[in-house]
Amino acid sequence: MATEPLDIEVRTFQFALRIVRLCRVLDERPGVKRTLSNQLLRSGTSVGANVEEARAAYSRAEFVSKMSIALKESRETCYWLRILIESELVEASLLNPLLSEATEIMKVVGAITSKARRSPS
* pLDDT value for 121: 60
> In whole angstroms, what is the distance from residue 67 CA to residue 112 CA?
8
Instruction: Write out pLDDT tens, residues 90-113.
Output: 999 999 999 999 999 999 999 999
- pTM (two decimals): 0.90
58 CB-side CA count, 13 A: 0
Q: Maximum distance among all alpha carbons in the chain?
A: 51
User: Could you state, in order of their start, the residue ranges of all structural domains in the chain?
Assistant: 6-118
Q: Which CATH superfamily is domain 6-118 in?
A: 23S rRNA-intervening sequence (1.20.1440.60)
